[in-house]
């Protein structure tokens, strides 16, 4: 049985209370942390406090009784919350709570045996920013905490398979004084801290994590300890993560949601489950004559209205990528690059516009309270012959018989677990969730490709998943009718895809969107070319042989000044974080594992200059991360 792990008592090993926090920080940190109180206005202990906190508060009206306010979060790594003195003070606070005698000697952080603490940090061998980030972090931890850090290169796939995941084992452990069971272990959260990966590791900058800025409810997958889907580092929350996310799910409107997330992100900023560093921009170089690209997370949502020169149908839109496509089967693809290639010829249900608002493509979605959602399918959608008109029945069959079937684990299967789907009309169906979720479209779970029932029905009857994966009509997108801006004409397995304009594109007959949708797409042809060598990709852009190519951050300046290239800084949702291994095979320096101690993770965060990292490694093309949400998210509680 899964026990609730609400915080009900002090944790002498992991919890640092509010009064001790301010004492540790001293005068330099008090102003920055105003508003981070664990108590309400009456001096009562809140979710993150303990019996010790209530006793030390001095009763109602205590000096720490400050209401939580959006933006008042510890901003580790900048200004007064960065530097050697603060980092070492926080580390000492952690060691006071440890049974092992770590400390400082001659400027070095030393083990109980008196040896300097030596740790490894892994970075992704194939990515230069990952190496530079690891080297910067190593220097900062050496200068400010006296740790000898060795940066080690590793292949990303190997790190995932041997260091980052483990056999799901389950089990139980004591968290905040209560026994907690890992009832649904996954490879990324295989069980308690005693369950470890094959290879030991200390720290890593190999992987970033998605902040889910459209839908922060999805962040629960990182922070709910035993119940989270994703917890390779073995983080045990010291706040009631499950309870706070449940409150957020029960919110009746967006304002309530934003208010609920303030407390969640305050706790995450305080506990540093992953040591947050930054959000980097994506850099894309475009043909300067191309009209359409914008510096926004929704860049590309209106591709059918993009054009070169006058807004008339002409020319070709050509992009270059380093990534080959393993499959173009819409049911089984889980790769972003292949998703873009599929998307040239086949729309999904909806997108988000430049204001990050829901925009209906194949269907509109509506709800009253977030539990039952109505899908209204456009009536001008057609598959290729012989499959005919797209109806609600095609979507309902797809969900019930494939996405929710045990024999066919598709890329979308997880998003439809526990959802009841019912057709209510020829062009309408309903989906009822297990619990209310006002942000359901923003989870992207209800994004469906249109797939003809008659095409997949033989595979469903035979429960033939391998046949479904290999079906040529699915792999080569032969069924797409008027459902995409272009028609796929060729997929060269190693070199890319080629398309021609879809003269029957349904989007020309809708009332929403830019006026140019009525003419779109405005290119006669399109292509996506796979070019592994970076120099060749960039050369194609400068020579005018490509319209869109990713730009490495170290080349930003030269391309930004090149009149033959228009460079766009496109915000991304991905956190660059320092992951610290809180499991039993973390912390190779000696006994115990200080990574498990909240104030030690705070010490790491205080030792790393976010501005130094952004300026020195990312050329200023990033923003600091404090609250797990980028500043452009409507749910970011960060102030200026």
Does residue 204 share a domain with residue 165?
A: yes
Structural domain includes residue 26: no
∠ CA(627), CA(633), CA(638), 5° rounding? 40
Q: In 3D, which of 461, 435, 297 has the Cα closest to residue 371?
A: 435
> Could you report the per-residue pLDDT of 29-73, keeping only the tens digit for each?
322 232 232 323 222 323 333 322 222 222 222 223 223 333 468
- DSSP, collapsed to helix, strand or coil, labels residue 103 as strand
Which distant-in-sequence residues (6+ apart) come within 8 Å of 401 by Cβ? 456, 460
Does residue 471 share a domain with residue 365?
A: yes
Specify the CATH number for the domain of residue 514.
3.40.190.10
Q: In 3D, which of 613, 623, 636 has the Cα closest to residue 211?
A: 636
Specify the CATH number for the domain of residue 598.
3.10.105
Residue 89 region by backbone torsions, left for phi larger than 0, else alpha for psi between -120 and 50, else beta: alpha
HEC string of 352-370? ECCCCCEEECCEEEEECCC
User: What local confidence, expressed as pLDDT, does residue 16 receive?
Assistant: 29
Does residue 292 share a domain with residue 264?
A: no
Structural domain includes residue 24: no
Does residue 344 share a domain with residue 217?
A: no
Ranges of residues in the chain with a pLDDT under 50 are 1-71, 640
Does residue 480 share a domain with residue 354?
A: yes
Structural domain includes residue 60: no
> Could you report the per-residue pLDDT of 101-132, keeping only the tens digit for each?
999 999 999 999 999 999 999 999 988 899 99
Structural domain includes residue 595: yes
- CA pair distance 333, 327, nearest whole angstrom: 6
Q: Give the CA-trace dihedral at 88, 94, 100, 102, to 10 degrees.
A: 0
> Could you report the per-residue pLDDT of 509-520, keeping only the tens digit for each?
999 999 999 999
The two three-digit tokens of residue 557, written as one number: 């300046």
Does residue 292 share a domain with residue 275?
A: no
Q: Which domain holds residue 342?
A: 288-550+559-564
Does residue 444 share a domain with residue 589?
A: no
Which distant-in-sequence residues (6+ apart) come within 8 Å of 154 by Cβ? 122, 123, 124, 125, 163, 206
Structural domain includes residue 23: no
Rg (CA), the chain: 26
Residue whose structure tokens are 């970033």: 208
Does residue 186 share a domain with residue 313?
A: no
Does residue 585 share a domain with residue 516?
A: no
pTM to 2 decimals? 0.79
Distant-in-sequence contacts of 129-137, Cβ < 8 A, 24+ apart = 129/280, 129/553, 129/617, 129/618, 130/205, 130/206, 132/616, 132/617, 133/205, 133/277, 133/576, 133/613, 133/617, 134/205, 136/608, 136/612, 136/613, 136/616, 136/617, 137/203, 137/205, 137/578, 137/608, 137/613
Strand 148-154 and strand 118-124: the pairing is parallel
Structural domain includes residue 1: no
Structural domain includes residue 2: no
Counted domains in the chain:
2
Phi/psi of residue 312, each to 5°?
-125, 160
> Could you report the per-residue pLDDT of 396-437, keeping only the tens digit for each?
999 999 999 999 999 999 889 999 999 999 999 999 999 888
Structural domain includes residue 59: no
* C-beta separation of 268 from 627 below 8 A: yes
Does residue 605 share a domain with residue 513?
A: no
Does residue 370 share a domain with residue 498?
A: yes
Does residue 214 share a domain with residue 359?
A: no
């Amino acid at each position: 049985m899964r026990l609730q792990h609400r915080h009900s008592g002090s944790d002498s090993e992991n919890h640092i209370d509010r009064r001790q926090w301010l004492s540790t920080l001293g005068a330099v940190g008090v102003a920055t942390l105003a508003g981070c109180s664990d108590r309400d206005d009456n001096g009562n202990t809140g979710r993150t406090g303990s019996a010790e906190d209530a006793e030390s508060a001095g009763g109602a009206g205590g000096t720490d009784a400050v209401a939580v306010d959006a933006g008042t979060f510890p901003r580790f790594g900048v200004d007064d919350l960065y530097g050697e003195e603060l980092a070492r003070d926080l580390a000492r606070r952690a060691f006071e709570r440890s049974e092992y005698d770590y400390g400082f000697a001659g400027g070095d952080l030393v083990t109980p045996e008196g040896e300097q603490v030596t740790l490894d940090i892994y970075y992704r061998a194939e990515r230069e920013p990952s190496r530079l980030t690891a080297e910067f972090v190593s220097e900062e931890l050496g200068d400010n905490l006296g740790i000898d850090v060795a940066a080690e290169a590793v292949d990303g796939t190997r790190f995932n398979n041997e260091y980052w995941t483990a056999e799901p084992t389950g089990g139980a452990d004591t968290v905040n004084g209560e026994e907690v069971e890992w009832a649904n272990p996954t490879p990324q959260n295989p069980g308690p801290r005693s369950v470890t990966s094959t290879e030991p590791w200390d720290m890593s900058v190999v992987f970033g994590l998605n902040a889910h800025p459209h839908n922060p409810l999805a962040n629960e997958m990182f922070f709910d300890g035993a119940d989270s889907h994703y917890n390779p580092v073995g983080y045990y929350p010291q706040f009631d993560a499950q309870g706070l996310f449940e409150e957020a799910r029960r919110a009746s409107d967006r304002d309530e949601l934003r208010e609920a997330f303030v407390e969640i992100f305050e706790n995450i900023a305080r506990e540093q489950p992953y040591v947050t560093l930054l959000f980097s921009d994506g850099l894309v170089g475009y043909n300067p004559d191309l009209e359409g690209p914008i510096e926004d997370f929704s860049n590309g949502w209106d591709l059918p209205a993009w054009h070169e020169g006058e807004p008339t149908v002409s020319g070709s839109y050509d992009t270059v990528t380093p990534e080959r496509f393993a499959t173009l089967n819409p049911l089984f693809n889980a790769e972003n690059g292949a998703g873009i290639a599929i998307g040239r010829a086949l729309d999904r249900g909806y997108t988000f516009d430049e204001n990050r608002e829901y925009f209906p493509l194949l269907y509109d979605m509506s709800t009253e309270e977030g539990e039952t959602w109505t899908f209204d399918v456009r009536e001008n959608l057609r598959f290729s012959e012989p499959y005919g008109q797209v109806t609600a029945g095609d979507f309902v069959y797809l969900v019930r018989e494939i996405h929710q079937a045990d024999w066919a684990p598709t890329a979308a299967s997880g998003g439809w677990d526990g959802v009841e789907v019912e057709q209510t009309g020829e062009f309408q169906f309903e989906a009822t969730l297990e619990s209310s979720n006002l942000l359901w479209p923003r989870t992207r779970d209800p994004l469906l490709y249109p797939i003809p029932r008659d095409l997949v029905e033989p595979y469903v009857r035979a429960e033939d998943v391998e046949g479904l994966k290999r079906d040529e009509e699915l792999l080569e997108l032969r069924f797409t009718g008027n459902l995409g801006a272009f028609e796929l004409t060729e997929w060269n397995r190693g070199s890319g895809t080629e398309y021609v304009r879809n003269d029957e594109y349904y989007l020309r007959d809708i009332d929403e969107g830019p006026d140019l949708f009525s003419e779109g797409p405005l290119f006669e042809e399109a292509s996506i070319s796979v070019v592994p060598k970076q120099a060749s990709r960039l050369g194609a852009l400068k020579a005018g042989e490509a319209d869109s190519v990713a730009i490495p951050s170290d080349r930003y300046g030269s391309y930004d000044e090149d009149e033959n290239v228009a460079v766009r800084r496109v915000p991304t949702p991905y956190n660059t974080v320092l992951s610290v291994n809180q499991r039993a095979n973390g912390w190779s320096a000696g006994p115990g594992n200080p990574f498990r101690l909240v104030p030690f993770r705070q010490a790491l965060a205080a030792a790393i200059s976010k501005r130094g990292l952004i300026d020195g490694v990312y050329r200023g093309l990033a923003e600091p991360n404090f609250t797990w949400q980028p500043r452009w998210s409507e749910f970011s509680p960060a102030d200026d």
